[in-house]
Amino acid sequence: MHRKYKKTTLMLILACILLAACGRESASSDVQASSSASTDIEGTLHLTGSSTGEPLMVQIASRFRTLHPKVEIKIEMGGSARGIRDVRDGKTDIGMVSRVLTESEQDLKGFPIARDGIGLMVHKNNPVTTLTSAQVTGIFTGQIKNWREVGGRNAPIMVINREDGRGSIELFKEHFRLRYSDIQAQIVLGADNPAVIEAVAAQPNAISMMSVIEADNKEKAGGLIKLVSLDGVAATHASILSGNYPLSRPLSLVTRELPTGLLKNFIEYSLSAQVVDIIENMGFIPYQE
């Protein structure tokens, strides 16, 4: 009986060892399968639209591709209106839109990933540091023509307007209750943000509208531009975060249908905690913060 007992015990021990080994092998296989699944994503994505959202999405796409090297992602600017139009026409997978979707666009699917603001940008040497909403309306409608009328030097104001359909001009029109035709400008630029910054930097008497974050980054880098306060509220990251700055907006990814497959994977990644550091390092505010 004693020998039989020892033999039985030995067999049980061996069985347990085998089961444990099988369990480890199974777990290892599961991990490998999961890892393989994460790198087996492949395909192509095309994004077009907002010039404010473009630099952000370039960085997010770059990190996504380090995880999924079989994915190709092409990103082009052109303004929020292009992003909406291209999605509707099936020319792009994702539209980058730097404004709230309008009532006529509610058939599209929008996914806000960050927040930004629109600032009023002037030349760095302009002595004006703040404007009221009434003054801004007067300047952009041509009722106020000289900087002296708003506390500046005796010089004619040069209004540089943005192309209609850009996210910045759409928010500007909505906030100041203007039609595009109401804006009296000496120059209208259809170019993206960098070209508008260069235009204001080259004209000491110019004023235009610009992404708060992009203009602030350029100013800190030594650019010849600055942002002025609006109704006494500075155009800063902190004022946008607090909700005090009136000209704020979402940066969104827009699709025609509910995303599936690779499209769904990329949008979920763009909304995840894995890209919060990219959003914050670029000066934007995570939408869910």
Tens-place pLDDT, residues 162-209? 888 888 888 899 899 999 999 999 999 877 788 899 999 999 999 999
202 and 254 inside one domain? no
233 & 130 share domain: yes
Tell whether 216 and 153 lie within a shared domain. yes
Q: Is the pLDDT of residue 1 over 80?
A: no
Q: Report which of 159, 136, 168 is spatially closest to residue 149, judged by C-alpha positions.
A: 136
| Domain match, 77 and 177 both | no
Same domain, 207 and 109: no
d(CA 194, CA 162) in angstroms, rounded, equals: 12
CATH number of the domain enclosing 149: 3.40.190.10
Whole-angstrom Cα distance, residue 259 to residue 94? 10
With a cut of 90, say whether residue 32 has pLDDT above it: no
Whether the CB-CB separation of 100 and 249 falls below 8 Å is answered with yes
Structural domain contains residue 4: no
Same domain, 180 and 203: yes
Please tell me the predicted confidence (pLDDT) of residue 2. 43
Tally of domains in the chain: 2
Place of tokens 């990933």: 113
Rounded to two decimals, the pTM is 0.69
User: Residue 54: inside a domain, yes or no?
Assistant: yes
> Per-residue pLDDT averaged across 5-14, rounded?
36
Structure confidence at residue 242 (pLDDT): 86
Say yes or no: 163 and 195 in one domain.
yes
Work out the pLDDT band at 288, boundaries 50, 70, 90: low
What gap in Å lies between CA 160 and CA 81, rounded to an integer?
Answer: 19
pLDDT at 224 over 90: yes
The verdict on 157 and 273 lying in the same domain is no
Residue 35 lies inside a defined structural domain of this protein:
no
Strand partners, 146: 156
What integer is the mean pLDDT of 92-100?
Answer: 95
| 111 shares its domain with 254 | yes
Residue 188 lies inside a defined structural domain of this protein: yes
Q: Are residues 100 and 141 in the same domain?
A: no
**Structural domain boundaries enclosing 168:** 117-242
Q: Considering only CA atoms, which of 267, 287, 286 is closest in space to residue 73? A: 267
Q: Would you say the C-alpha torsion 177, 181, 185, 189 has a positive or negative sign?
A: positive
Whether 131 and 231 map to the same domain: the answer is yes
Per the document, the length of the chain is 289
Tens of pLDDT, residue by residue over 263-285, are: 999 999 999 999 999 998 887 88
- Per the domain annotation, does 20 fall within a domain? no
Instruction: Give me the residues paired with residue 250 across strands.
Output: 115
Q: Which pLDDT does position 23 carry in this prediction?
A: 38
Residues 138 and 192 in one domain: yes
Q: What percent of the chain has pLDDT over 70?
A: 86
Beta strands 248-255 and 109-123, pairing class: antiparallel
The mean pLDDT value for 147-151 works out to 98
| Assigned domain for 13 exists | no
Q: What is the pLDDT of residue 243?
A: 84
- Is position 161 within any domain? yes
What tens digit of pLDDT does each residue of 110-147 get?
999 999 889 999 999 999 999 999 999 999 999 999 99
Answer whether residue 21 is part of any domain: no
Residue 31's pLDDT band (boundaries 50, 70, 90)?
Answer: very low
Q: Please say whether the beta carbons of 222 and 216 come within 8 A.
A: no
Residue 77 — very low, low, confident or very high, per pLDDT cuts 50/70/90?
very high
